A and B are shown apart, each in its own frame.
Chain A
Amino acid sequence: MDPESDEGTPREPGGTDGGEEPPDSSRAPDREPVAFDWEGIRVGFLTCIPVALGVAGYGIAFGVVANQAGLSVAEAALMSATVLAGASQIIAVELWSNPLPVAAIVFTTFAVNLRYSLMGAALQPWFRRLSPPQIYGSLFFMADENWALTMRDLKSGSGRGAFLLGSGIALWLFWVVSTILGVFAGESVGDPSRYGFDFILVAVFVALAAELWEGRPSLVPWVVALGTSVVAADLLPGRWYILLGGLAAAAVEVIRYDR
């Protein structure tokens, strides 16, 4: 299946609604209707533009690194357009050498991006109202930043099921264009940290953390995630710490549920 093929064909709202109402539901997501329409795409696109601008700084940094690794403009642009996962792309390009370590690159990409499974699963309370093409088409465009924006939007009760797709398209456009600019700028920019580009991802996540903070209920899971990820980052290669931090916090929450 080509996940992009769903991009231009949003369904009418309400088409897939109903019939799946769990009888025991008292949770907010179950009571909200979730629509998949142009309005959701539009709002998602516009909301994501400031974040996509930040990501573009990161995309320029990726283009610079890709250029230094010997990728052509076309190759770097193709990677950004199809993989669409910043951290894994930068790590893959860091592994780039002659001959290409194909297995290492592909497996590392998989490991770095495993966290997307958790992120996708977290969308299920809202996405269960959507059709498979809507779900999987939207998920192609999921990256860290627009996923977090989408969670914020859905948690607010907007019912905008197409928000992920709209915000993802904004991210995709800025990511591909900035990659191309980065490859061209590559030779002369030199060290990305001189312009603070290397800090953009951290800044994006600090901003998102400020928005996702739900007060006291967030405290225990966040402390668990923080402790687990810092320790795991020290002990394990790659980005396993992201997966472990998220899983540890979820596990603790499942155990604490009755209290």
Chain B
Amino acid sequence: MTGEGLALESLLDGTLPSEPLLATFSLDPLVVAVILAMTAVTVLTKIGGIWLVRRVELSERLEAGLNVLPGAIVIAVLGPELAAGGPAEWGAAGLVLVVMWRTESILLALCTGVVAVVAFRGLV
């Protein structure tokens, strides 16, 4: 990527406005503490749900509820994301859907989506 080369070049030139080269690899103690706190609460969320359900006997009714979660959460992530977008994003999302249906290739679908959204944004 040319972009990466440019960044390295500007680093070596010392033209980067914010930090000198050494600071690029530095670890600020407060920043590390915040990152570790973020890690702790994230691990808590990742293991918390299953920790709870392992201690409660689930009825089939509850399991039916759990079973719809995967698709429902995917849709809940997508809904507002698409609502905030415009025709370019909707068109690209539609293309991803079509490519997935036809080819079942995730990589092909993702590449199509990214290329399409750039192209559509240029048109709209």
CB A17 to nearest CB in B, in angstroms, measures 16
Q: Count A-B pairs with CB separation below 8 Å.
A: 315
Tell me whether A121 and B50 are in contact (CB under 8 A). Answer: yes
Provide the bound-state CA to CA distance between A225 and B85, in Å: 18
Q: Do the beta carbons of B65 and A251 come within 8 Å of each other? A: yes
Q: Which of A8-16, A33-41, A138-146, A169-177 participates in binding chain B?
A: A138-146
CB distance from B122 to the nearest CB of A (A): 10
Interface residues in A, total, Cβ within 8 A: 107
* Residues of B with C-beta under 8 A to A46: none
Indicate whether A205 sits within 8 Å of B77 (C-beta atoms), given known contacts A71-B31, A116-B49.
Answer: yes
Q: Does A157 contact B (CB under 8 A)?
A: no
Name B68's contact: one of A74, A188, A218, A241 (CB within 8 Å).
A218
The answer to whether A120 and B72 have CB atoms under 8 Å apart is no
- Kindly list chain A residues whose C-beta atoms are within 8 Å of the C-beta of B58: 124
Most buried by A among B36, B46, B66: B46
**With the chains together, A31 CA to B43 CA distance in Å?**
30
Provide the bound-state CA to CA distance between A147 and B50, in Å: 13
- Taken together as a complex, chains A and B put the C-alpha atoms of A79 and B40 apart, in Å, by 12
Name the A residues within 8 Å of B31 (CB-CB): 71, 75, 100
Q: Closest A-chain residue to B62, C-beta based?
A: A254
CB closest chain-B residue, reference A190: B3
A228-251 toward B: CB 8 Å interface, digit per residue (1/0)? 111001100000011111101111
**A207, B109: Cβ atoms closer than 8 Å:** yes
With A27-B60, A139-B47, A257-B64 known as contacts, the answer to whether A221 contacts B72 (CB < 8 A) is yes
Docked complex Cα distance between A33 and B112 (Å): 38
- In the complex, which residues 140-192 of chain A have their Cβ closer than 8 Å to any Cβ of chain B? 140, 142, 144, 147-148, 151, 181, 183-189
Residues of B within 8 A of A73 (CB): 24-25
Nearest B residue (CB) for A243 = B76
Chain B residue, CB-CB nearest to A92 = B38
Interface centre among A78, A114, A187, A193 (most CB of B within 10 A): A187
Minimal beta-carbon separation of B35 from chain A (angstroms): 5
Q: Give the distance to chain A from B7, nearest Cβ to Cβ, in Å.
A: 5
Known contacts A189-B3, A205-B78, A210-B100; A245/B42 CB under 8 A: no
Q: Is there contact, CB below 8 Å, between B80 and A233?
A: yes
Q: Is the CB of A43 closer than 8 A to any CB of chain B? A: no
A241: which B residues are within 8 A, CB to CB?
76, 79-80
Contact A245 B79 (CB under 8 A): yes
Determine the residue in chain B with the shortest Cβ distance to A51.
B106
Decide yes or no: A225 and B38 within 8 Å by CB, A57-B114, A116-B49 being known contacts: no
Question: Which residue of the partner chain, among B11, B72, B77, B117, contacts A250 with CB atoms under 8 Å?
Answer: B72
Which 4 residue pairs of A and B lie closest in terms of their CB atoms, listed nearest first? A245-B76, A117-B49, A249-B72, A203-B113
Can you name 9 extra interface pairs (CB under 8 A) apart from A200-B113, A254-B65?
Answer: A57-B114, A106-B37, A116-B45, A118-B73, A121-B69, A196-B118, A206-B96, A206-B97, A210-B109
Interface residues of B (CB under 8 A from A): 1-4, 6-8, 10-11, 16, 18-19, 23-28, 30-32, 34-39, 41-50, 52-54, 58, 60-85, 89, 92-93, 96-97, 100-101, 105-107, 109-110, 113-115, 117-118, 121
16 residue pairs A–B, Cβ–Cβ below 8 Å:
A72-B19, A72-B25, A82-B39, A113-B46, A118-B49, A121-B69, A124-B54, A184-B7, A202-B113, A203-B92, A203-B96, A205-B78, A209-B75, A212-B71, A225-B73, A253-B68
